[in-house]
Structure 1
């Protein structure tokens, strides 16, 4: 992630990965009734013009039930994101733009949603040592460790953690874990 002049972070990712991050984060955040809703919806709104029409429609379909639910906590944030998706002027810029805090939260949400599914996006993001900061890496390693994705004999995550709550034999996520903690198979 690189800092630009507006004190915002720019995550240099391709359009398909950008769409996947936003979809995964949205799926995780809907119905949470926490701060993650505001962060995810703010990043969606800020980047709506960078998304093609099909991605905007897919996100709008995922957000609309939460915006229409009338929940006093979540609905205003989702309504803003929905309005941005529906009215966005095309913006051919690359990457994903947002505040450092909002992008970190978006990445956490997308990662937690994807854990146990397809690890391909996270493998690609971890190939760029500047894409994900050390704090994000440490917390995500902890999440994988506690979910049982750390392979036998792998180093423990660098932050406080619980004992593994399971033993999941998934080589793709084991590789993501090892990349997060700097270990090798």
Structure 2
């Protein structure tokens, strides 16, 4: 019984090999890769890629308290970011409760060229984490936004978010 099975299996495998070998041999030769011609003239460069570097003045406020302010050097192809984490004491807490007298404010800010062909469009992302309340035992509140703004040279834009978060941008 084993001999018959081997004969049939060998015949089947042999038939498959001949079937596969036939069409492969009959195929057209492999065509060479195409060579693309590049025009002699320089490609068109978008306005934002030709733009000169500049300074963007940034002021970040939280509930009318300045969290960070400064100038950031920008160009059309880079981004600028600021990350700060401030811990200090809440002087409004009673001395006997000094375990919870610490307050923490964290700010993350990023500005980068926005989408589209407009060289004055920027994406601004800001997040702010702060204590829940004065002398709070634990917990924190967070707010933030990501928006696109148009900001030409000399213009100022103000972006307001929840919880008193405010960002002022001036392109110099």
**Which structure has the greater CA radius of gyration?**
2
| TM-score with structure 1 setting the length | 0.21
Q: Which has the higher strand share?
A: 2
Higher RCO (Cα < 8 Å, 6 or more apart): 1
